Structure 1
C-alpha cells in the first residue's frame, strides 16, 4: 500500500467508514445538508401493508422537502392566520401575539437539529404572521363607519363617477363637510346615487346636496357576503342617495398632489369608458368599457345574470385572464417584431425585452382599469412570472404562484375572505399543477417516430383539435377547482359552463382582447374605430352564446354549503395541487369527509332579514314562501339559492285571522303566507308555524300555536310565556344581523286543563303530557362583542331599542 492509499484509508477510518474503497474509486459527491438528512431506505418486503405506510409516508415527506414544497405551503399558513383573525369571536390582543411570535421564533432557532419539530414551529410562526398582518391592516384601515340612518346636507369631493344601467349615477365622495345636522362622527368617504348630475362634473370637483345616508348592511344570511366588512376595508363609511340632485360648488380647501393625480386618472378613465360605450353601443359597448376601464356599472342586469348562469361572468371582471391576454398579446407582438429584425434578435435577448414590454403594458392596463383589488392581485401574479422570465427562470411554477400569494396576503390580508381571491388562486394553482403533470408525463412516455409532414388541411385540423383540447382541459381543470368556492359564496354552479367557455373563449382570446389592446394603442391618434368595431363584434358573439345557453340551462342552485365541508375540501385541493409525491393520497380522506358533510347537511328552513321586514319559509319541493309582495331582489335570490328553491310563493292578503287549528292543519302546508291585521302566518313543510308581527300586542295572539315569531318593532319584548316559542325582535336583528333558522325535533312537556289559569293552582281536570314539537335553532350573522367592521351597529336606534325617529311639531 503506497503512502497516498494509506492516507486515504486513515481518513476513512477517522470518519467511521467501514468499507475500504478501491484505488480507482470515483470521488465522493458532497451533497447538500438537506439531501444528507434523507433517511435510509427501510426494507419493507417482510412488513404488512399497514406497516409499510409509515416508511412510505416518511420518504414522500422528505422527497417533498427536497423539491421545495415546504415553501409552497407558506401562503397557505399565512392565509390560515388571516382567516383565524377575521373569524375570531373577539379581537386578539397585540401584546400576546407579539410575545407568541417572539417565543416561536426563538424556539425555531433552538430546534435546528430537530427538523420535524422545527417545521411544526415554523408553521405556527408563519400562521401568527398572517394574524399580525391582518391586525395591522385593520388598524391601518380604521374606517369611520356611520352608525344610524340620517339625512344631512353634504359637501364632498368626487372620487369616482359610475353610470348605472338603471340610469342613475353613483358617486364616490370624500366628505368635506356636513350641515343641518353636522355629523359629529362623519365618515371620510361615502357612496351615494343620484338621478342626475351636472354635465360638466368630473372627478376632483366638489358637489353639495341633501343626502340620505345609511350604514353599510351586514350579510343577508349568516356566512354570506358581508357588505360592512368590505366597506370597512374599502374605506367606505356610509352609502345612500341624494334626495335632490347634487350641485357643483367651490370649496376653500384644494386637493393635494396625490388627490389631484388620482382625480385626473379617474377622469381619464371615465371619459375613455364613455367614448368606448358610445362608439360600440348597447350592452356590447358597456362590456367593452368594463373590459378596458373596469367600469361595469352600465352593463344591463339581464346580461349580467346570463353571464353568471353560464359561467362567463369572469370575462367582464378584470382578473388574471385579462392580464394574461394583454401580456400575451404584447409579448407575442414584440417577439414577432424582433424576429423581423434578425440582426437585433441575434445580439440581444429578445425574449427578455418582450417580457419587459409585456410587464409595462400590464402596468398601464392596471392603471387604466382602475387598479381594483382583483386587478392588483392579477398584476402581482403576472409580474412575478414575467420577472422570472427576465432572470432566466421558469415562469409558470408553483413557487412563483406562492410568491405572488405571499405578497398579496401581506399587503391585503382581508382578501382571503373574498370569493375573488379563492377562485383566482384555486384556478391558477390547479392549472399550474395540471401543466406540470402533463409535462412530466410527456417526459416519461416513449418518444414516437417522427411522423411525415402533414398537408395544410390536416395540419390545420390537427392544430385546431389541439387548441380545442387544450381549451377544454383548461376549462375543466379551472372549473373543478373553483366549483367549490362558487357553491360556497354564491350557492350556484354553471351546468353548461364548459360548453359556454369552449364556445365563447375563442372569441375573447382571439378577437376581443387583442382588439382591446390595439384600440388602446390607437386611441391617442384617434384611429381606434376599426379595433373597437372588431371588439364589439366579438363581444356580441359572446353575448349571443351566453343568452342562448342561459335560456337552456338547468336550475343551478346548490344550496348552502357547510363551512366544515369547505375547509375539508380546500385542504384536499391544496394537497392535490401542491404535493408532487404519494402524499397526494392524503387528500383522499379529506375529499371523502367533505363530500359526506355536504351530503348530510341541513339546509335552512327560515330566513329573516336584518331589518325584520322580510321573512321567507322553505315549503319544500323547491318552493320558498315570502311575506312581502315586493321583496329585495338581491336578498331573495340569495335565499332561494341557499334553500335550493326555484319558485317563490307570494303572500295572500286578508286571511291572517285564522284560529290555531286552521294554522296547524295539514292541508294548509302548501299555502303561502296569509297576511292581515298586522300578522303574516306561514307553515314550514315540517310543521313549524312561522309568524311575522308588526308589534308586541299583535304577536301575543300567536303565542298559543307559533313555533317562531318575528316582531318588526325594536321596542317590543317577548310576549310569550311558553319557552318553546322562539321570538326575534327588530332589536335582536339590528344588533346581531340577519338570521336563518333550522327546525329541530324536540319533546315539549305541557300542562292542559280547564279549571286553572296560568299561575294558579291546578284543577282535577289538569294533566301533564308530552307532545312532539319543532324547536327553532336560530343562527345570527353577526356575533357580539363586535369586531371593528361591525362596531357601528350598536349606535342605531333599533339596536338601542328606540322607536323610529319622528319630526316633532316644533322642528
Structure 2
C-alpha cells in the first residue's frame, strides 16, 4: 500500500490518500508517495503563510532487492486475478471443471458408487457457500464441487444407458425392426435394427440394438419395416492397441450391443403391431433422409453425390475410401462431418437471404428489428438442419453453440463471446458427459475457443488503435475488403489448425502438414459454391426446383475433391507416432489460459505451451503389438518397417499400428521348409520374404512363427500349445492362439500370452527390457482393458475364450437346440 498527497478542501493542509498503485507496462509499481505543490485559495492567503512549492519526487520503499520484487510480483498477480474474476473468469471455468470431473470418472480403474459422489458434492457445495467470505477457499471448494458434479453426471449417464452388449461371437436367427439404413461404398447396405426375437439359438442376453450389413435388401424395406434373417453377431471390439480408440466404449453409449452381417436374408416380414408415435416419427425422419440422399445421388452422382448427401443429411457410408483418405491427409475431413462449419454457413446464408428480402421493403425495415427476425429464421433453419441430418452428437453440439449465439442476438447481446461458448459447453457436458473423452468434442471446442479468444484479442487491439475515419475510393474499399477476407481465412485456418493439431496427433497419430494451404484453397469453394447452394437446394427441393443448385454444388465438390487429391499426393508426412498424454494436458491448459485470460496473465500460456512441445514426442513406443483375438503380432524391425505374422492381416489394425510406430512398409511372413520344424531356431533369419537386403520378418512353419527383435530378444506366435512348446527354449515371449492352453512352457524365463488373457484384457503392447550386466531379460505386457471391468467392458468376461473354452462348433449342436455355451450376457 502506498501513500500519496493530494490537494483537498482543507486549505493548505495536505490530505493523505492511501491506495494501490496502478500497473505500468504489465509490471507492478512499488508503493511510493507523490507530493504535489498546493495552491492556496484567496481566503487562506490572508492569514496563512504560503508554503514553498516542492517538485514531484517518489518516496522509495523501505525495502529493495529480491523481497521488493517478490512483493511487487505478488501484488501484480493478485490484481490481475481479481480483474479476471471481475470479468467473469469464474463462470468460464465451470465447463472446464465439469469436463475434468467427467474425464476423472471415465479414467477410474473401477466403477465408483453413486452415493459417495453425490454426498461429497453436496458437502463441498455447502462448504463453498459457507466460505464465500474467504474468496480463495470459496473458489477452491467450488471448483472441487463442480468436478464432483461432472463425475456424478457421467455416472448418471452410464447407469441410464445400461446397454445390453453381446458377450461372444455367435450365429443366430433374428427378427428386428429397421431403425436406419446406410448405403456403403462397396454396394452393400448397413442396417441398424432393434431386436425383437432370436432363434436357433435363443439368446439369453440378446442385445437391444445391433448393426448388420447385407449384400442386398428386398424391395420395400424402409425404416420401420420388420425384417428377419440368419446373422453372424459379434460383440463390440476393444481398442486395437492400448490407448487407442475404444469401440466398446462408443458402442455402449450409442446403444449398439453387437455388429455383424447377414448370412441369409434379410427378408421382409409382415408386421401386425403398429409402431408407437415416437417410432413412427423416427421412421419418418429416417425415410425422409434416405429419399433426400437418393435424390442428391441421382442428380449429382459419383463421389460428389455421396459427399453432397453427407453434407445435407449426414450419411457418409457411401463416400469412397480413397476420397476419405485424401480428405484426412489434407486436414479437410472436417468438411464432411456436419459440425460448426455447416451450421454457421446455413445460419449465415439464411440470415443473408432474410436481410436481403427485408431490404426490399425499406419502410418496414426502418421500423422493425429485422436483424432479430433474421436471427430467428436462422435458428429455425439450423434446427431443421439438425433434425433432418440425423442429429448426430457433433451436429447437436454445433447446434447448441449456434443456438446460444443466435439467442444472444435476439436479446441484444454479443453473439461471439467466450461466455456463450461456456454455456454451450456446459449444455453439451450435461447432456452427454461421455463426449468429453472423444476427439470430436475436444477438437471442436479447442478450435472454437482459440478462434473466439483470438477474435476478442484482435477486437480489443483494433479499438485501442482506432483512427479517425477517412473517406476512401471504391476500388480501395474493395481491395481492403478482399485483403481482410483473405487475412481472415488465413488466420482462421492457422489458429484452428494449431489448436487442434495436438489433439488430432494424440487420437489418430497423424498430422496434415499441408492442412493450412489445402484449407485456404478449398474453403472459398465450400463457402461460395457448396454450402450456400446446398441451402438453396434444400429450400427449393419441395418445389422440385433444386436441380440447378445441386449442379452448382456438384461442380464445387468436384473442384474440392481434385484439390484434396492433389494436396494428398504431395503431403510429405502423415504418421507422427505416439504422443505424450502429459503434453496433451499441458496444451489444454495453455489453451484455456490463452483463450480465457484478458490481462497479462495470458502470457503465462507461453511457458506452458513450450513445455508441452518439449514433451510432445516423449511417449514410449512399444516393441510389439498383439491383437485382442491373438491372431496377429506386429514387430517394428527398424527403418520404418513393421513385420507381421500373417500374410493377409486385418487392414484397419495394421494401419493403426503403422501410424503409432511410424512405419511405412509392411513385412509379411516367410514360409520355411517343414523340415526345419525340428530345430525352430534355424528358422530365425530365414525371413525377408525374398526382398533385397534381407529385411527381418517372421519365419513360419507348422503353426509356429518366430522373429528376432532388433534388441536380440525373440518373439513367437503359435497356433496351439503343441506348436508353442517348440519355441519354449528359444523365445522370450510366446503368443498362443489357444484359449485352452495355460502355460505350455513351464519356464519362468519365458512369458506366455494366451488368447484367454487377450480376450479378458484386450490387445497388448509389449515392452522388451534387454539384459544388462547379466541381469535377467524382462518382458512387460500392457493390456488395453483393466479389471474390474467398467460397464462398457463387462461383456468380455462371457466370451468362450475368456472362460478358457475352445471355439464353438456349429455342427455339434442339435438342430433347434439352444446354444449351451451361448453368452449369459
Is the shorter-chain TM-score for this pair beyond 0.5, marking a shared fold? yes
* Kept in 1: contact 2:687–2:696 (CA 8 A): no
Do residues 803 (structure 1) and 791 (structure 2) align?
no
Aligned-residue offset at 1:210 = 0.5
Aligned-residue offset at 1:810 = 5.3
Aligned-residue offset at 1:331 = 0.6
Aligned partners of 2:72 and 2:723: how far apart in 1? 70
- Which residue in the other structure is 2:672 paired with? 654
Do residues 253 (structure 1) and 273 (structure 2) align?
yes
- 1:114-133 aligned at under 5 Å gives the runs 114-133=134-153
Do residues 734 (structure 1) and 759 (structure 2) align?
yes
Task: Specify which of 597, 612, 619 is matched with residue 594 of structure 1.
Answer: 612
Aligned partners of 1:467 and 1:276: how far apart in 2? 31
Residues 709-759 of structure 1, C-alpha deviation per residue, up to 9 Å, x if partnerless? 111011111223443332211001100011112223444xxxxxxxxxxxx
* Kept in 2: contact 1:153–1:179 (CA 8 A): yes
Task: Specify which of 471, 478, 496 is matched with residue 489 of structure 2.
Answer: 471
With 684-693 and 187-196 compared, the bigger mean Cα shift is at: 684-693
- Which residue in the other structure is 1:645 paired with? 663
- Which residue in the other structure is 1:297 paired with? 317
- Which residue in the other structure is 2:650 paired with? 632
Do residues 715 (structure 1) and 715 (structure 2) align?
no
Task: Specify which of 176, 181, 192 is matched with residue 212 of structure 2.
Answer: 192
Task: Specify which of 173, 187, 190 is matched with residue 170 of structure 1.
Answer: 190
Q: 1:669 to 1:113 in 2, by over 3 A?
A: farther
- Which residue in the other structure is 1:689 paired with? 714
- Which residue in the other structure is 2:92 paired with? 72
Aligned-residue offset at 1:144 = 0.6
* Kept in 2: contact 1:669–1:684 (CA 8 A): no
SS across alignment from 2:204: coil
Say what the alpha-carbon RMSD is for the aligned residues.
2.2
Aligned-residue offset at 1:565 = 2.0
- Which residue in the other structure is 1:743 paired with? 768
Q: 1:297 to 1:107 in 2, by over 3 A?
A: same
Task: Specify which of 110, 126, 150 is matched with residue 170 of structure 2.
Answer: 150
Aligned partners of 2:324 and 2:671: how far apart in 1? 34
Task: Specify which of 231, 241, 247 is matched with residue 251 of structure 2.
Answer: 231
Aligned partners of 1:165 and 1:661: how far apart in 2? 46
Residues 562-617 of structure 1, C-alpha deviation per residue, up to 9 Å, x if partnerless? 22221122112211111122222333443233223324332122111100001110
- Which residue in the other structure is 2:697 paired with? 672
* Kept in 1: contact 2:342–2:531 (CA 8 A): yes
- Which residue in the other structure is 1:663 paired with? 684
With 528-537 and 59-68 compared, the bigger mean Cα shift is at: 59-68
Aligned partners of 1:126 and 1:47: how far apart in 2? 41
- Which residue in the other structure is 1:43 paired with? 31
SS across alignment from 2:227: strand
Task: Specify which of 373, 378, 387 is matched with residue 353 of structure 1.
Answer: 373
- 1:283-682 aligned at under 5 Å gives the runs 283-445=303-465, 447=467, 450=470, 452-455=472-475, 458-654=476-672, 657=677, 659-660=680-681, 663=684, 670-682=695-707
Aligned-residue offset at 1:448 = 6.3
- Which residue in the other structure is 2:37 paired with? none
Q: 1:662 to 1:157 in 2, by over 3 A?
A: closer
Aligned-residue offset at 1:204 = 0.4
Q: 1:810 to 1:249 in 2, by over 3 A?
A: closer
- Which residue in the other structure is 1:22 paired with? 9
Aligned partners of 1:555 and 1:374: how far apart in 2? 28
* Kept in 2: contact 1:475–1:498 (CA 8 A): yes
- Which residue in the other structure is 2:22 paired with? none
- Which residue in the other structure is 1:275 paired with? 295
Aligned partners of 1:744 and 1:584: how far apart in 2? 43
- Which residue in the other structure is 1:34 paired with? none
Aligned-residue offset at 1:105 = 1.3
Aligned partners of 1:327 and 1:479: how far apart in 2? 23
SS across alignment from 2:587: helix
Q: 1:665 to 1:296 in 2, by over 3 A?
A: closer
Aligned partners of 2:686 and 2:590: how far apart in 1? 47
- Which residue in the other structure is 1:84 paired with? 104
Unaligned runs of 5+ in 1: 1-17, 25-39, 748-769
SS across alignment from 2:778: strand
Aligned-residue offset at 1:47 = 4.7
Q: 1:661 to 1:213 in 2, by over 3 A?
A: closer
With 505-514 and 47-56 compared, the bigger mean Cα shift is at: 47-56
Q: 1:582 to 1:776 in 2, by over 3 A?
A: farther
**Aligned residues between the structures:** 756
SS across alignment from 2:615: helix
Task: Specify which of 776, 781, 789 is matched with residue 778 of structure 1.
Answer: 781
* Kept in 1: contact 2:579–2:618 (CA 8 A): no
Aligned partners of 2:585 and 2:780: how far apart in 1? 23
* Kept in 1: contact 2:669–2:687 (CA 8 A): no
Unaligned runs of 5+ in 2: 12-27, 33-60, 816-825
Aligned partners of 1:342 and 1:452: how far apart in 2? 27
Residues 456-477 of structure 1, C-alpha deviation per residue, up to 9 Å, x if partnerless? xx54443322222110110000
SS across alignment from 2:265: coil
Aligned partners of 1:446 and 1:149: how far apart in 2? 68
Normalising by the residue count of structure 2, what TM-score does the alignment of the two structures yield?
Answer: 0.89
